[in-house]
Amino acid sequence: MAPALRSHCILAAVRSATVGMPIEVSATPPFTDGHWLLAHNGVVDRAVLPAGPAAESVCDSAILAATIFAHGLDALGDTIVKVGAADPNARLNILAANGSRLIATTWGDTLSILRRADGVVLASEPYDDDSGWGDVPDRHLVEVTQKGVTLTALDRAKGPR
């Protein structure tokens, strides 16, 4: 399917179900809020997530997505740092896109980047043997816009820096 897609920004998600959670459409990413699409690759203890946000499902990823949407995507780094501090075992790789902006975090899991002449690819792992793939360091926020790619370190104690 991928070779047939044409767009300025594409977000695709493939995720295993969270153990003990229902397998249902509302628990399947991407989650939506206005123009934003969001996918979570990882796991987080639902008990550390704030009560209240209107989640599409009871699964950890849906509740995390609702929390992120409630705080706003401009605060993604701060939100991930707070959740990561509350759950030291969390894996919080987030990918969010609105058509002109792509934001991602890596926290406790791998994230790879491929910078090509026709765009930028972010993926949990390289999907081919292209030598241009690089690793995004753990605990980083990645932002891709028409201006380029920005990597920002995330620190538990200080938030984004």
Each residue's pLDDT tens digit, 94-136? 999 998 899 999 999 999 999 999 889 999 999 999 999 999 9
- Would you kindly state where each structural domain of the chain is located, as residue ranges? 2-14+44-160
The closest alpha carbon to 81, from 138, 120, 132, 145, belongs to 138
Residue 153 predicted with pLDDT over 50: yes
* Least confident stretch, 28-37, 75-84, 96-105, 143-152: 28-37
Q: What pLDDT sits at residue 14?
A: 62
**90 vs 4, residue with greater confidence:** 90
Each residue's pLDDT tens digit, 47-83? 898 776 677 677 788 899 999 999 999 999 999 999 9
Token pair 């990413």 is found at 29
pTM higher than the cut 0.75: yes
Q: Give CA–CA dist 4/15, Å, rounded.
A: 22
**145 vs 22, residue with greater confidence:** 145
Strand order in the sheet with 36-43: 31-33, 36-43, 91-97, 102-106, 140-145, 148-155, 159-160
Confidence of residue 161 (pLDDT cuts 50, 70, 90): very low
Q: What pLDDT sits at residue 92?
A: 96
Q: What pLDDT sits at residue 32?
A: 80
Reply yes or no on domain 2-14+44-160 having CATH 3.60.20.10.
Answer: yes
Q: Which neighbouring-strand residues pair with 160?
A: 154
Q: What pLDDT sits at residue 73?
A: 96
* Least confident stretch, 21-35, 37-51, 70-84, 87-101: 21-35
Residues 46/52, Cβ–Cβ less than 8 Å: no
